[in-house]
Amino acid sequence: MQLFKLSTKLHRSETFAEFAKDFELNEHDLVLTNEFIYQPFMEKLGLPCRFVMQEKYGQGEPSDEMMNSILRDLGGASFRRVIAIGGGTVIDIAKLFVIKDLTDVMDAFDHKIPLVKDRQLVIIPTTCGTGSEVTNISIAEIKSRHTKMGLADDVIVADDAVIIPELLAGLPFRFYAASSIDALIHAVESYVSPKCNPYTRVFSVAAMDTIIDVFKKIAATSPEERHKYAADMLIAANMAGIAFGNAGVGAVHALSYPLGGNYHVPHGEANYQFFTEVFKLYHAKDPKGAIAPLEAHLAELLGSTVENVYDALDGLLGQLISRKPLKEYGMKPEECRAFAESVLVTQQRLLKNNYVPFSVDEIEGIYNRLF
């Protein structure tokens, strides 16, 4: 049984200009990014790369339509490297573009074509949440099917991942909070996964320690405090990505997908809605397994009792960004059952990583309690 794998080489540059010089960016590079990152950090360098601005093709989460529109505009152009500089949307799109002879991304998601890598992939995250720079997963909203699908294959693993603290400076606090809570969820979910092992647990714990420490400092001062810890949070998110890239994530992510896919809720924000409610049910079903040392460690970090650990966690996270009832996103009462049934059918890739199995009634109960 494989315990641990990390194929991506990790780098750190203090500035984008330093990265561009070290990696010798040139006319054979396709750079997928956003205008608000390109203008302050890249435009002045006059690089000969082909730049594609993701937001030209739509807002929000990555979708099959967005990806295919970019593919059509590229028109089969030849590149040696694909460089993703952005958040989860940019990264998930770019991962698909290393696949040989890809003309429709659904052929990849549905495994209708052989997945062969014919370009190098370099990923630079500009949020502190996805961890996607070190995983073999790309997620997209499939518009025609009203859900999200994941492609998990080593073909789309980055060859290089680069941490550049400078690029986090302009990230609005709401996006910072949602993405970094998502990183915490990656660390916590992977800790209790059946595939967790001593190697992945080291990365889970290290990520939790840093993220909660920084959250406490922000809560005690102001959102501006986050800028002091940009590099720390990028590294913590990366560590959480390494943990869940090996051990997986479970029900929190699985339950969030219908909400995100139907009501266009950003990924990190959608996960946040289900985080502690899922873990309360885990505890109720099996309080003495791997969840026990997790809860003890979280309680120590939060300065709470084990009995009140999820209330304390909700209290801290609520100082960063508020949760809201699912109905405020537009969800309808009858969808609690429909979403639960959909999750059991379409999200087995994630549910197999649950700490304990959930029935359709238990999943529906979570939706109902959060409605």
d(CA 125, CA 148): 21
- H or E stretch at 166: none
Starting at the earlier edge strand, list the strands of the sheet with 81-86: 9-12, 160-163, 120-125, 81-86, 29-33, 50-53
Question: Among 108, 109, 186, which residue's Cα sits nearest to residue 350?
Answer: 186
All structural domains of the chain: 9-168 (3.40.50.1970), 173-370 (1.20.1090.10)
**Quick check: 350 and 238 in contact, CB under 8 A?**
no
**Quick check: 84 and 121 in contact, CB under 8 A?**
yes
**Quick check: 347 and 254 in contact, CB under 8 A?**
yes
- What is the distance in angstroms between the CA of the first residue and the CA of the last residue of the chain? 40
CA 227 from chain center: how many Å? 21
Tell me the per-residue pLDDT of 80-113, one tens digit each, with 9 for 90 and over. Answer: 999 999 999 999 999 999 999 999 999 999 999 9
Orientation angle between helical segments 267-285 and 360-370, nearest 10 degrees: 120
Structure-derived torsion over alpha carbons of residues 3, 152, 89, 246, reported in degrees to the nearest 10: -10
Residue 137: what are its φ and ψ, rounded to 5°? -120, 140
Alpha helical stretches, state H, 121-250:
173-192, 198-220, 230-247
Question: Among 308, 241, 320, 250, which residue's Cα sits nearest to residue 278?
Answer: 250
Rounded (5°) CA angle 257-258-261? 80
Residue 261: what are its φ and ψ, rounded to 5°? -70, -35
pLDDT at 146 over 80: no
Q: What is the pLDDT of residue 170?
A: 87
Tell me the per-residue pLDDT of 317-339, one tens digit each, with 9 for 90 and over. Answer: 999 999 999 999 999 999 999 99
DSSP-derived letter for residue 117 is B
pLDDT at 147 over 80: no
Tell me the per-residue pLDDT of 226-268, one tens digit each, with 9 for 90 and over. Answer: 999 999 999 999 999 999 999 999 999 999 999 998 998 999 9
Question: Among 178, 162, 314, 188, which residue's Cα sits nearest to residue 250?
Answer: 188
Q: Percent of the chain beyond pLDDT 70? A: 100
